[in-house]
Amino acid sequence: MIRAARHDDVDTMRAVEVAAGRLFAEIGMDLVAEDEPPAADMLRHYIGNGRAWVYGADVPVAYLLARWVDGNVHLEQVSVDPGYAGRRIGVALVEHLAAWARERGAPALTLSTYAEVAWNAPYYERLGFRRLADAELTDGLRRIRAEEAAHGLDRWPRLCMRRELG
């Protein structure tokens, strides 16, 4: 069950992020694994603006955050508790976002992710996203990539992706 995130979901959303992040330690990406989950205030901002969803009737086991970037809906974060992996929960959340974006007239979904992590770029390619060349990046996507680089995330190859919603 996908529903709009509520303010009382914030602590659980942060716990899901910590659990999901641990997977990165298993592939030598300790910096990512040890990164702090999104701040509670930031999550409340997304919730307050109607751009945060969770999967789970009572206690969320996954969540997704989105924002508008250059006229497209940008998938800011999707995380699934590893204990619930393989159940297509992430797919359901992404498809929910695609429907939400279509209803609002967005031409595409965008995201930034790790190029070589199996549950990142290759996963999104299976969901219809394509890798963007640097020349295709919008100003907003360039700003996002610069913020990620400043945060140290470019220690591993990253890229932006796009899925047309037509």
Q: Which CATH number do you get for residue 141?
A: 3.40.630.30
CA angle 94, 120, 65 (to 5 degrees): 40
* Amino acid code (one letter) for 48: G
Angle of helix 10-25 relative to helix 40-48, nearest 10 degrees, comes to 120
Q: What pairing do the DSSP bridges indicate for beta strands 72-80 and 108-114?
A: parallel
User: Over 90: is that where the pLDDT of 166 sits?
Assistant: no
Q: How far apart, in whole angstroms, are the C-alpha atoms of residue 31 and residue 41?
A: 22
pLDDT tens-digit map of 121-160: 999 999 999 999 999 999 999 999 999 999 888 889 999 9
pLDDT of res. 11: 98
- Residue 163: pLDDT band (50, 70, 90) is very high
| CA-closest candidate to residue 163, choices 86, 106, 79 | 106
- 130 phi and psi, to 5 degrees? -120, 150
Q: Which domain holds residue 73?
A: 2-164
pTM, whole model, 2 decimals?
Answer: 0.95
On the question of pLDDT at 61 being above 90, the answer is yes
Question: For residue 50, which of 15, 116, 100 has the smallest C-alpha distance?
Answer: 100
Residues in the chain: 166
Q: How many folded domains does the chain comprise?
A: 1
